Chains A and B, each alone.
Chain A
Amino acid sequence: MSTDVPQPTNPVANGKPVLEARGLTKSFGALQVLRGIDLSLRPGEVLGLVGDNGAGKSTLVKILCGFHSQDGGEMLLEGKQVRFNSVEAARAHGIETVYQDLALIPQLTVYQNLFLGHELTMLGPLRFLNNRQMRKLAREYLDEINVHVPSVDAEAERLSGGQRQAIAVARAVRAANKILLLDEPLAAMGARESRLIINLVKDLAASGRVSIIVIDHNYAHLFELCDRVNVMQGGKITIDRPVHETSIEELTELMVSSYRRQLEQVREGGA
């Protein structure tokens, strides 16, 4: 095992799971996408989810965030059984999701985007925007979490991809009080921009504000970002390791050998 693997970013990543899935199954027609997912997310932890396309990662996240509901199995939030019928229901339980670069409104400014859906208003039912207050809070909040933009009055359109993603993550974090789901937050992003998001997510996890699940294809990113990595294959979680007990090489080897086994099973079954 290599020695340059970073230690877990967060020492509080232990204790009772904040989110637990037991035997989740999901089929679309004849296609069984999830075949019994067992997963647990501990408070303040960053959990990475890897796997090939079609392994079921996105489906799993869509169940966790309430977009789909599971066919079988159960979900526990802080020990209590929950079942979400909508994204709003999951959101009401403090679970927020950031989708790939879709979240911002290009024509709105940074602060308007940050407060979208949670605008501060005044004059009662007239719902006049309290722009001054929103600008001020946006500036303070972005400073606090180390996100740097030219100005909170800049239109999102004029930001770089990394800045946009950072704002999207920042908004989700403001709204999430328990769990943040990040679906490929580093997709299509340059090295410097990836760094921005990685640091942001690490800081957030360290603050203990939220627990985070990240989907990504890039092992190097995940090893830097996460406390623990789960590998999904064929609708199941096949490997569950803390990052400091494994390495990129080991995970790759485990995945390959697991595929080999599956392949052999298929051959034997066919023979």
Chain B
Amino acid sequence: MITIGLFVYFTIKAGSNFTDTLSLSSAAGYAGPYAAIGVGEVLLLVLAEIDLSAGQVFLFCPWVMYWLHGDGVPLLAAILIALLVVSAVGAINGLITVLLNVPSFVTTLATNFILYGLVLVESNQLQGSPIPLSSGSGFWSKVMGTGTWSEIIWVAAITIVMTVVFKRTRFGVRIIATGGNLVGAAEAGVPIRRVKIWAFVLCSFLSGLVGIVDSVKYGTLDPGNFGVDYILYAIGACVIGGTALTGGRGTLLGAFIGGILIGILQDGLTLIGVSTNVFFIYVGAVIIGAMAVNVQFDRLIARSRGT
């Protein structure tokens, strides 16, 4: 609702400037990474866990692909190995959290720094360029990122697939059960540890996948990019979408919409000539506003059901 409202607001304010393809695609460009990381992050938030490294994984995955490809590994293999590597990062996050009982906030904070450091060391602080596929105009280049809408289509597809997984499969129910009542779920025979580890793996995998698409889109990799910049927006997107950080509840579609909203905000404010510095104040206000609306909404529903 807020997203549509903002969309209308910017359309009126900036006229056709906002709705033309170039501008909309740039809004989608901002939104893609936040929405993608947010969708994976929701799984962990529902589990009452968090993955702070997902933003850095998003940046790290294309580097792995780039290095492997540079060493002569065929592109498809390089992409698959990179995805395997980030899935392993997710597995490590999960294993440390579950087996050593370290809060995931701490585990993934550490992973975040380690991945950042690896990029700096391996890249020698030099930009990664050119990214394979990024200069081509063939079918696969378009699919993998150079197409105007390819990234946001990837993210939308991921959102749909993961929503089906979350709502319709046993894994989804087990995520809600584990996050809603850890002890109760374990007593009912839910393998809570396995569920958590797989969720970490999925979150990393999805972030890495869209990270590769994002790198193809921009064509260069900047070793100075810091994942925390992404993850905080992504968590913002989750919260705006209606996911509480207390576990047991969340919506992936909400995170997607939340990501789009932040994208529109970032792009729209630039277009209507508001200083980008103000952007952060708006984001903060929207997060608080969305939270308040969601809480009230829940109360309303509860009352209408007579409880």
Contact A108 B187, beta carbon cutoff 8 Å: no
Task: Give the residue of B169, B170, B176, B307 whose beta carbon is less than 8 angstroms from that of A105.
Answer: B176
Listed stretches A6-14, A118-126, A210-218; interface member: A118-126
- Report 24 cross-chain contacts, Cβ distance below 8 Å, ordered by A residue: A87-B187, A88-B189, A91-B189, A97-B187, A102-B183, A103-B184, A104-B181, A105-B176, A105-B180, A105-B181, A105-B188, A105-B248, A107-B179, A108-B177, A108-B180, A112-B177, A116-B173, A118-B189, A121-B169, A126-B169, A127-B170, A129-B173, A131-B168, A158-B307
Contact B188 A171, beta carbon cutoff 8 Å: yes
- Residues facing A in B163-193 (CB within 8 A) are 168-173, 176-177, 179-181, 183-185, 187-190
Q: Chain A nearest CB: distance from B282 CB in Å?
A: 32
A3 to B177, CA, bound (A): 48
Which 7 A-B residue pairings sit nearest by Cβ, starting from the closest? A117-B189, A117-B188, A127-B170, A107-B248, A105-B180, A107-B180, A116-B188
Encode A106-140 as 1/0 by CB contact (under 8 A) with B.
Answer: 11100010001111010000111101000000000
Contact A104 B170, beta carbon cutoff 8 Å: no
A158: nearest chain-B partner, CB-CB: B307
Residues of A within 8 A of B187 (CB): 87, 97, 99, 102-103
A108 to B307, CA, bound (A): 16
Q: Chain B nearest CB: distance from A175 CB in Å?
A: 8
A13 to B99, CA, bound (A): 45
Residues of B within 8 A of A118 (CB): 189
Residues of B within 8 A of A112 (CB): 173, 177
Of the candidates B169, B184, B305, the one having the most CB atoms from chain A within 10 angstroms of its own CB is: B184
Q: B217 within 8 Å of A by Cβ?
A: no
Residues of B within 8 A of A102 (CB): 181, 183-184, 187
B residues neighboring A (CB under 8 Å):
168-173, 176-177, 179-181, 183-185, 187-190, 248-249, 305, 307
Question: Chain A contact residues (Cβ within 8 angstroms of B): what range?
Answer: 20 to 34
A102 to B185, CA, bound (A): 9
A160: nearest chain-B partner, CB-CB: B307
B173: nearest chain-A partner, CB-CB: A112
A244 to B184, CA, bound (A): 36
Residues of A within 8 A of B180 (CB): 105-108
Known contacts A108-B176, A116-B177, A158-B307, A129 near B169 by CB under 8 Å: yes
A112 to B185, CA, bound (A): 12
A103 to B168, CA, bound (A): 22
Known contacts A116-B177, A121-B170, A158 near B305 by CB under 8 Å: yes
Residues of B within 8 A of A127 (CB): 169-171
Known contacts A116-B177, A116-B190, A158-B305, A105 near B171 by CB under 8 Å: no
Given contacts A105-B181, A107-B180, A128-B170, list 8 more A-B pairs with CB under 8 A: A104-B181, A105-B177, A106-B248, A107-B248, A112-B173, A116-B185, A116-B189, A118-B189
Contact B189 A105, beta carbon cutoff 8 Å: no
Residues of A within 8 A of B248 (CB): 105-107
Task: Give the residue of A99, A106, A117 whose beta carbon is less than 8 angstroms from that of B190.
Answer: A117
Of the candidates A107, A112, A128, A131, the one having the most CB atoms from chain B within 10 angstroms of its own CB is: A107
